[in-house]
């Protein structure tokens, strides 16, 4: 199984200047947060924001190569508040071992960001199939990491939170949990077969939203809130034509910068959203309103 990197319906971009890690008024000092897929494209965004808000962060990934943005966040906020553990979300034993290490090093987790995921960003260089030819193992791998991996992490870390009576779980969804990818966004890619966004990706993210509602109902009276944060298109190396087409399809006329995701994440993770559970927060520049 490949390293479980951040979910990418896209990543960084258009907003000028360096934005802060943390939204004003958010204080997670003394709390411990767990981020799965912590070293991928969006994992460092979530981890950096949580560190900036004062939390201790346990990052789970299959890799050990800390990317530059996260390393910079650690320089700002303290390497001693970040613990990186090797863990595969397809293996419940890995998650149980990570929970034990978290408890012994930083204490009980009160925030869980389920971010580990497999995606296929638009590219003329990647492997593609016609719909009828998509290998079963490709779809199964996406579902196992994105949907079942989120379920396993909730079973391990979320159950611990429910037993202790406090916690916030933020499951990372996607715009494509509720909308189909527009094939016209990919028609300019010179590829045969034509590029297709994997159908299992949207299936997995719809399942994540359903899981958030299920657990919100199950654990609401046990002090655990569960929500989905669903980014739309996020800048991250896409070709110019794709960015233009996506922007034209979006009321705000552009894709998101990763810095624009931190406020929504910290809102859901913190007490600012103390009466919010079972919901999906779309951060999509209005894409879904058309």
Q: What is the number of other CB atoms lying within 10 angstroms of the CB of residue 192?
A: 7
Q: Which of 186, 201, 214, 275 is catalytic?
A: 201
Spatial separation of the C-alpha atoms in residues 160 and 147, rounded to whole Å: 20
Q: How many domains does the chain have?
A: 1
Closest CA to 265 of 236, 286, 234: 234
In a domain, 287, yes or no: no
Q: Is 180 exposed, middle or buried (0-12, 13-18, 19+ CB in 10 A)?
A: exposed
According to the model, what pLDDT value does residue 3 have?
A: 43
Confidence at residue 141, expressed as pLDDT on a 0 to 100 scale: 97
Question: Does the residue 25 lie in any domain?
Answer: no
What does the alpha-carbon distance between residue 185 and residue 207 come to, in Å, rounded to a whole number?
A: 24
201 is catalytic: yes
Structural domain contains residue 37: yes
The pLDDT value recorded for residue 223 is 98
Residue 230 within a domain: yes
Which residues span the domain enclosing 44? 32-275
Largest interatomic CA distance in the chain: 54
Helix or strand (DSSP H, E) at 283 = strand 280-283
Beta bridge partners of 83: 58
Burial label for 187, CB within 10 Å (0-12, 13-18, 19+), is: exposed
Tell me which residues of the chain have a pLDDT lower than 70: 1-25, 124
Polymer length of the chain: 290
Tell me whether residue 17 is in a domain. Answer: no
Q: Is residue 10 part of a domain?
A: no
Query: Per DSSP, what are the bridge partners of residue 33?
Result: 57, 111
Find the CATH number of the domain harbouring 162: 3.40.50.720
């Amino acid at each position: 199984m490949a390293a479980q990197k951040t979910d990418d319906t896209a990543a960084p971009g258009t907003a000028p200047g360096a934005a802060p890690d943390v939204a004003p008024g958010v204080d997670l000092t003394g709390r411990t947060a767990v981020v799965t897929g912590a070293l991928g494209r969006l994992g460092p965004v979530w981890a950096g924001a949580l560190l900036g808000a004062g939390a201790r962060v346990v990052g789970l990934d299959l890799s050990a190569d800390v990317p530059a943005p996260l390393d910079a966040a650690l320089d700002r906020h303290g390497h001693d508040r970040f613990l990186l553990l090797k863990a595969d979300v397809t293996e419940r034993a890995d998650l149980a071992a990570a929970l034990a290490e978290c408890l012994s090093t930083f204490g009980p987790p009160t925030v869980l960001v389920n971010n580990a995921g497999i995606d296929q960003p638009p590219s003329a260089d990647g492997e593609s199939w016609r719909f009828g030819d998509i290998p079963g193992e490709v779809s199964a791998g996406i579902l196992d990491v994105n949907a079942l991996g989120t379920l396993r992490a909730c079973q391990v870390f979320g159950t611990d939170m429910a037993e202790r009576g406090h916690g916030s779980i933020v499951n990372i969804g996607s715009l494509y949990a509720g909308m189909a990818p527009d094939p016209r966004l990919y028609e300019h890619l010179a590829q045969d077969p034509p590029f297709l966004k994997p159908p299992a990706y949207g299936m997995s993210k719809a399942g994540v939203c359903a899981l958030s509602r299920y657990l919100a109902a199950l654990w609401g009276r046990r002090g655990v809130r569960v929500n989905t944060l669903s980014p739309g298109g996020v800048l991250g190396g896409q070709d110019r034509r794709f960015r233009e087409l996506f922007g034209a399809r979006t009321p705000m006329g552009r894709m998101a910068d990763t810095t624009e995701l931190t406020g929504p994440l910290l809102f859901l993770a913190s007490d600012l959203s103390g009466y919010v559970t079972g919901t999906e927060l779309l951060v999509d520049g209005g894409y879904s309103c058309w």
